[in-house]
Amino acid sequence: MALIAPRVTAGLPADDARNLARSLQDSNDITVFVDGTVHRLPDEARDAVVDLLARLSRGETVTVSSVEEMLTTSQAAELAGISHTYLRNMTDRGEIPVEYRGTHRRIRQAAIMAWLATQRKKQQAEAGAGDDAAEESDARP
């Protein structure tokens, strides 16, 4: 399985969650201290830490794990939050690149992450187009 040593952390108590949410409001600056030494995180790591803290600040239970580079269709579907049947259909249509190991499909983690980024951009564009259409209809007499 692709998930390696997952760690589940329960949501924070309400007071701690509110304090953390207040601290994160309009902030992306996260300073990490390890044994008294300050470490500047690369953007990707900073984003992951901010996301983790934001989820905890909402009182969500969080699971942290690592993912192998090559995934089975089930693992890739779980990472993408879609059914493995839908993912297999996308690989059949060529929407997500796939490699075969014998008769077994393997999908690169980077391909799933790229597909997720594309989906987010589409959703943002659709939301922006919906906002523009609403503004136009408001402007008309």
- Cα 80–91–113 angle (5° rounding)? 30
pLDDT tens string 34-60: 888 988 877 788 788 888 888 888 888
Query: 122-141 pLDDT, tens per residue?
Result: 999 988 877 665 566 555 55
| Residue 33: pLDDT band with limits 50, 70, 90 | confident
What are residue 34's DSSP bridge partners?
37
Q: Which two tokens stand for residue 66?
A: 């690592």
Integer Cα distance of 98 and 50 in angstroms: 31
Q: How does pLDDT run across 71-82, given as a tens digit for each residue? A: 999 999 999 999
Burial 71-82 (b: 16+ CB within 10 A, else e): bbbebbbbbbeb
Question: Is the pLDDT score of 23 beyond 70?
Answer: yes
Backbone phi, then psi, for 79, in 5-degree steps? -65, -40
Predicted local distance difference test score (pLDDT) of residue 2: 40
Phi-psi region of 58 (alpha: psi -120 to 50; beta: other; left: phi over 0): alpha
Q: What integer pLDDT is reported at residue 92 of this predicted model? A: 94
Q: With a cut of 90, say whether residue 91 has pLDDT above it.
A: yes
Taking a C-beta distance cutoff of 8 angstroms, is the pair 65, 4 a contact? yes
The amino acid sitting at 72 is T
d(CA 88, CA 44): 28
SS3 assignment, position 50? helix
Residue 1: the pLDDT is 36
